[in-house]
Amino acid sequence: MRTDIVKTYKDIHSWVGIIAGLALFIAFYAGAITMFEDPLNRWASAPTSITPAPSLARTPELVDKVLRAHPEARAAYTVNFDVGPEMPARVSWTKGNRRVPGPTWLASLASDGSLQVVQQQASPVANFIDVLHEQIGLPFPHNVSMPIMGVISLLYAVAIISGVICLLPSLVKDLFALRFSRNVKRMWLDLHNVLGLFSLPFHIIMAVTAVIFAFHDEIYTAQGAVQQIGAPKLERPARPDRNAPPPALEAVTGTLPPLELQRRIAQQAPGFRLHTLTYEYNAKEGRHGAIAGYDPRYGTRAPVYGLGEIDTRTGAITGADYMPGRQDAWFATVTSFFALHFGSFGGTPVRWSYFVLGLAGAFLFYSGNLLWIESRRKKERKSGAVMQTRATRILGALTVGVPLGCVAGISLTIAAAKWLPPTSPDLPAWHGRIYYCVFLAAIVWALVRGAARSGASLLWVAAAATAAIPVSSFASTLLGTGWSDNGATQLVDAVALVGTAGFVVMARAAHNRARHGPRDSVWAITAAATT
């Protein structure tokens, strides 16, 4: 391949990576954590004092008492088939949704058969990190952040293509090269190439699916417009209006009990394991329902389940566009993109693989910026410049401040879940305040102190913030203000301890680099002192 062509693609790869790399670091780091959203929820959420869930056979009795005592539940209430630590109640209802979570109430039967209702104390921290992942850390409304995320994803795809083309001429020679020597730049380049090449399929999947997610609404609008040419107008099913006056009791009764609906759904969709069944009512559609569940033979539209619609009076499945194994070719194709992005196939091994690949992806973007800065330093030195330019110093500071601010902010807002009052209605806002205060403070600190002086100190901050997670588990339980869920606590705390050790090692390496690296490097304290 001609040298000038390779150089052109190398320039494209560098500049596109510089523009999109920091935002993608946030997306990948937060995305890796969301692979274990359920254990994190259990770690962060206060336990609920509710009696054990009654059997499915007794659920109609529980539902009848809920509908009579709590009219606000009549528009939509959910029967949970998989009762466990995340959802301890057989019946629940909420005024929120996935985008805007609201209070959720749980219902059970006390030992004397009386109705017991408590409010769930679910922590919003896992959902907050998921939003960070989706919106690459932007604190804007969803409809504003997603197009920006889409553009970043397109740049990400360009960086992948140009990076592969750059690597082709030296692919055979450098494929298994990982040279740990005094040439630090060569070592970083080898690491960057090896990680990028061996995780290439993962990055292609992420780039393609991220673009689809970002422009999801526009794609569906266009698809709907094409399908409706010359056809009668179709309307999407109305979602329950949580603020509408509750319907009369007679309007929501007369539906089949959960056990019977489960039996009829199993007949129509063998292999589909029912997770939840939501009974809904509105004046236009009357009584109907939504089901969620999974089939291990197929990927799912949501991270852990697929969705369907049913007639709660007959049990007939009336909508299967999002049900695993019952989709047409178009919806199955779209669902495959969701499954590949979420890792909602293959069980726990795939989730751990996505977690490791997500962290490796974040490191890939960090190392890309590092390589660009080192190359820039050499060019400036060859051109006679003694000091680094302002642009190089600012980029160096951002390369330190943005990733480490993200790491420290996420760790501290997770740790705060054990200390914030679980009954506070302002919990989501508090998690946002903690994260963005730490994130912005790290960036300002890096810009003021420079990459060399702030690098090691921010790594120590990231290590301390990550260590705060297991420390919070221990201290809050010891003081009697927190709680502990054995399985989730051990997993989350163990991962945090490994992360802490990693940041400590990196902090010591950054300290040595700042003191003993090349004097004219943007990472050298001696250089920072002269600027």
Q: What is the pLDDT of residues 94-105, one digit of tens each?
A: 876 666 667 889
Sheet arrangement for strand 76-80: 115-119, 104-109, 91-94, 76-80, 273-282, 286-294, 306-310, 317-319
193-202 confidence digits (pLDDT tens): 777 777 888 8
* Domain end residue (candidates: 342, 360, 384): 384
In a domain, 58, yes or no: no
Q: What is the mean pLDDT of residues 419-427?
A: 84
- The C-alpha atoms of residue 236 and residue 220 are separated, in whole angstroms, by 12
Other beta carbons less than 10 A from residue 177's beta carbon: 12
Residue 118 vs residues 50, 68, 302, 305, 463: alpha-carbon distances, Å? 7, 16, 27, 26, 38
Do 206 and 354 belong together in one domain?
yes
Do 451 and 371 belong together in one domain?
no
In a domain, 278, yes or no: no
Do 513 and 425 belong together in one domain?
yes
**Cα angle 362-365-369, degrees, rounded to a multiple of 5:** 140
3-class DSSP state of 211: helix
Question: What is the per-residue pLDDT for 70?
Answer: 94
Do 379 and 440 belong together in one domain?
no
In a domain, 64, yes or no: no
Do 397 and 508 belong together in one domain?
yes
Do 357 and 223 belong together in one domain?
yes
127-182 confidence digits (pLDDT tens): 999 999 999 999 998 888 888 988 898 888 888 888 888 777 766 666 666 666 66
Do 439 and 502 belong together in one domain?
yes
- Listed range (187-191, 318-322, 385-389, 392-396) with the worst mean pLDDT: 385-389
Does the structure show a pLDDT above 60 at 354?
yes
- Listed range (9-18, 32-41, 218-227, 477-486) with the worst mean pLDDT: 218-227
* Domain end residue (candidates: 350, 366, 384): 384
In a domain, 210, yes or no: yes
Do 415 and 512 belong together in one domain?
yes
Q: Are 413 and 43 in contact (CB under 8 A)?
A: no
At 182, list the tokens. 């005094």
Range of the domain at 493: 387-530
Question: What is the per-residue pLDDT for 78?
Answer: 95
- The C-alpha atoms of residue 173 and residue 433 are separated, in whole angstroms, by 49
Q: Are 399 and 391 in contact (CB under 8 A)?
A: no
In a domain, 277, yes or no: no
Do 370 and 412 belong together in one domain?
no
In a domain, 182, yes or no: yes
In a domain, 23, yes or no: yes
* Domain end residue (candidates: 369, 384, 399): 384
Residue 145 vs residues 152, 185, 282, 470: alpha-carbon distances, Å? 11, 35, 32, 33
Do 378 and 451 belong together in one domain?
no
- DSSP state, 45? S
Q: What is the mean pLDDT of residues 404-418?
A: 96
For residue 119, the cross-strand partners are 105
At 375, list the tokens. 């190359």
For 299-322, the DSSP string reads: --SSSS-EEEEE-TTT--EEE-TT
Q: Which of 16, 360, 341, 375 is nearest to 193 (CA)?
A: 360
User: What is the number of domains present in the chain?
Assistant: 2
In a domain, 357, yes or no: yes
Question: What is the per-residue pLDDT for 290?
Answer: 94
Question: What is the per-residue pLDDT for 469?
Answer: 95
Residue that wins the pLDDT comparison between 179 and 54: 54
pTM for the model stands at 0.83
Do 202 and 335 belong together in one domain?
yes
Do 423 and 365 belong together in one domain?
no
Report CA dihedral (44, 50, 56, 60) to the nearest 10 degrees.
Answer: -120
